[in-house]
Structure 1
Amino acid sequence: MADVLDLQLVLDGIGHAVLIFAADGRLILHNRAAGTLLGNDLRVIRSEGWPLAEALFDTGIVEDENKLAAVRKRMLQAVEPQRFHIFRSGEYIPCWASSVVGADGSIYTMLTLDVADWGAVGQVLGRFRDEMRESVSTTIGHIDLIQRTLSQHAENGDGAEARIARRIGGFTRLIANHMSRADRFMMLLERLESLRTGEIRQIIRQDRRKIDFIDFMEDFMEALYETRLLDPETENQADYLARIELELPDELVIKGVPRYVRYALQELLRNAIMYSLAGTPIRVRARTRQTTAQIEVIDEGYGIRESEWLRVFNPFERARQPQIISEFGYGLCLYLCKHEIEAMNGQLWFTSEENVGTTFCINLPLWSSSSSYSSDNEP
């Protein structure tokens, strides 16, 4: 059969990405699906071999036993395929590592990167979110009705009745707070699902467009008045919008997905408000830097300790400073924003000094005359 079939044609007919490394670490074979999945990274792996594959595939993997070197070691010891996973731009990709023995006895390492079909899982999660949102909305409506009824008794009833009404009112406010958090968590999970399943690539291909950033910010600021930006128990609720100062050029046109730009600005402003004193300003500054636009959210808050910097963009992690951990949060927002911005060919980073403040920077491509064409060809 080997005389009849061309191995490269066989590999190219496989829907999953396949990479085969020699014992000395050289990449000796790969298929067409690997080029589609890995893009420019495949060229670098071809040049640098296994060490570079380790560095790329270990990104976002915390436990040493789940890193590629440990997976390969287990595979060679067990002489059977080993299951592992990697993250690419936040997308979860299930993989296999297996050994292949050549005709001369040489042992090759074959990595298979699955192109997963998340359709069935997406249906279940979508139904779950819909049911949860319906329950949250209904519960909030019932709570509002109960609170209005109780307020009448608290104001007009006798002493005992008023005390009971106020006490029950405290419980209903607590339930309302938890419902608000549940609703927000559903929104975060939807974004996380889009990231983990790779659906975000399709969203960006469909929705990336020309954004007049000056008009965008005008609409954004108006919408903030109707947006629940902060957790219900955050103390800095009063007139926080008055703290926001805009420093924008007369003209700035960027290329991106409006919803992801909006998410990023909302999350960065939320953090700036929560982690700074009520009387301090928060500046949103935008400027042009060659072929990109840099958008900065600057606060004069508590700052982030240098020892906590690595936790900032990790999922489900938060800085462990008292001022930060005392505020409610899931540790997901900045992780999502970073990957959503990077999926639009942008960058998100920060500089910070404890007790001085923090600046988060978003860098996105400027719109150009060639953007309309290139948008159809970018991931």
Structure 2
Amino acid sequence: MSEKHTVSTDIDYAAVLENLGDGVLIFNAADQLIYDNRVARQILGSNMVVLRQKGWSALAILINRDLPEDLIAEDLRAKALRQTEPVRFRLMLGNAYIPCWLSAVHQENQSPLTIVSIEQADWTPISQFLSHLQKEGMPAVEDTLGHAKFMIQIAKRANEKTKVTQLSGQMLRFSELIQEEMTRFQLLIKQLQRLELIQTDQIRKIVSAQAKPINLEEFFEDLMEELAEEHAKQENDGDLRERFTFDIPSNLVVNASKSHLETIMRDVIDNAIRYSKPNTPINITAFATNKGKNVQINVTDNGYGIRENDHDRVFTAFQRGRQPHVIAESGVGLSLALCKSELAAMQGNIWFISEEGAGTTFSIKLPAALTQSEKPLEETKSAAEDSSNDQQKAETSAEEEKTPSTDTSVEPSSES
């Protein structure tokens, strides 16, 4: 028999609210602002004057600025008043999006109160990235300027006795170095753009607008052709596609943003290539799961594997493994953290199973693309995939959360 929860009368709840880390606004049924705490005043600044005068209507104006045309603040409030779960929204203040929540408190024999909680914007990841950008990007720029300077000097020193082959060889060598440095710099900028969309919570709206059915067999055919062409321009060690084997049924269709899924798969495949020996096989499989409601993609390499004490670092921004072959590769430890957040925005997840010295399997789960008239996809799993799922279930039996946490390496099992 459960114990009855009692509320202590010895706590100064006004002091608790005043010193919370998030901002709090409370409105009564007459739309008047009856409470605001210290953090709310700090975040809202001069807007507090109008809020105290106009109440809920003033806040509604701020909320409506970032809502779709077919939705207004009063709709969010009505939803919060009729359900137990808070309603998420955001405020655009200055140049930052501030995550907020609407909820209701229903009091016996009294009108309900509307509570708005305002999170403090955390720019730490952006600051960390800018620090890494300065550390990684500025040397790339300086090296490129140095290479360009040498090319100019070589061209100026050239005369009639200079052999064309000698001159072109020197120019080619410096041009390749410039291309390598600028490719690294371009990747850093793209990661900064992805991080900005995640930190400002724009990513959910973007992937929702771009979501469409994607046939995985066709998707990977196109992606591998692009990767093979890019690889051939940079390397001279054969067709990249010869390293890969695929087991993807032709009827597997996911609901996702194609551009974001391509970026995610490029990151995962790039990790498999970089952290395994040349010419070792990489296997990509996909199958229906969760009674056909989801599709799982596995990318398996026979590479170096991930040390157990580095598992928590894999999906943590700006953290990298401490093995020598990881340190030897360029990077800031951000791509997989970005992938996890982008997949969460698409109602998906990513996790891994790894054994040091044997290899790693990264698994991605996405919603299957189904219409109301369609039946869920039939579950088709190979023996290797069944073994992988058995290992996942052995490691955890917790229920899967709607939004995966960023420090979980193994997908919680909610399937049978």
Aligned ranges 1:90-129 → 2 under 5 Å: 93=98, 111-113=117-119
TM-score, reference length from structure 2:
0.53
Query: 1:175/1:40 Cα in 2 relative to 1: closer, same or farther (>3 Å)?
Result: farther
Query: 1:40/1:304 Cα in 2 relative to 1: closer, same or farther (>3 Å)?
Result: farther
2:210 to 203, 207, 210: 207
Query: What letter corresponds to residue 216 of structure 2 in structure 1?
Result: F
Query: 1:6/1:111 Cα in 2 relative to 1: closer, same or farther (>3 Å)?
Result: closer
Judge conservation of contact 1:211–1:254 (CA < 8 Å) in 2.
yes
For residues 181 and 266 of structure 2, the distance between their equivalents in structure 1, rounded to whole angstroms, comes to 20
For residues 244 and 350 of structure 2, the distance between their equivalents in structure 1, rounded to whole angstroms, comes to 20
Judge conservation of contact 1:240–1:273 (CA < 8 Å) in 2.
no
For residues 110 and 169 of structure 1, the distance between their equivalents in structure 2, rounded to whole angstroms, comes to 61
Query: 1:274/1:32 Cα in 2 relative to 1: closer, same or farther (>3 Å)?
Result: same
1:221 aligns with 2:227: no
Q: Deviations over 1:302-330 (max 9, x none)?
A: 00001001111111221111011111112
1:264 aligns with 2:233: no
TM-score, reference length from structure 1:
0.58
**Which position in structure 2 is the counterpart of 1:173?**
176
Q: Deviations over 1:223-269 (max 9, x none)?
A: 22333699x6xx89654331011111131111111111111111111
- SS of equivalent residue, structure 1 residue 226: helix
For residues 201 and 347 of structure 1, the distance between their equivalents in structure 2, rounded to whole angstroms, comes to 14
**Which position in structure 2 is the counterpart of 1:353?**
355
1:248 aligns with 2:248: yes
**Which position in structure 2 is the counterpart of 1:59?**
none
The CA deviation at 1:173 is 3.0
The CA deviation at 1:189 is 1.6
Gaps (5+ residues) in structure 2?
1-26, 35-53, 64-74, 88-95, 101-114, 131-136, 375-401, 404-416
For residues 361 and 310 of structure 1, the distance between their equivalents in structure 2, rounded to whole angstroms, comes to 16
**Which position in structure 2 is the counterpart of 1:81?**
none
- SS of equivalent residue, structure 1 residue 227: helix
For residues 371 and 353 of structure 1, the distance between their equivalents in structure 2, rounded to whole angstroms, comes to 43
Query: 1:255/1:94 Cα in 2 relative to 1: closer, same or farther (>3 Å)?
Result: closer
Aligned ranges 1:30-45 → 2 under 5 Å: 42=86
> Percent same amino acid at aligned positions?
34
**Which position in structure 2 is the counterpart of 1:14?**
59
For residues 298 and 29 of structure 2, the distance between their equivalents in structure 1, rounded to whole angstroms, comes to 61
Query: 1:172/1:13 Cα in 2 relative to 1: closer, same or farther (>3 Å)?
Result: same
Query: What letter corresponds to residue 272 of structure 2 in structure 1?
Result: A
The CA deviation at 1:34 is 12
For residues 194 and 206 of structure 2, the distance between their equivalents in structure 1, rounded to whole angstroms, comes to 11
- SS of equivalent residue, structure 2 residue 357: coil
Aligned ranges 1:158-169 → 2 under 5 Å: none
For residues 298 and 225 of structure 2, the distance between their equivalents in structure 1, rounded to whole angstroms, comes to 19
- SS of equivalent residue, structure 2 residue 229: coil
Superposed CA RMSD: 4.8
Judge conservation of contact 1:12–1:33 (CA < 8 Å) in 2.
no
Q: Deviations over 1:86-118 (max 9, x none)?
A: xxxxx98579xxxxxxxxxxxxx99522699xx
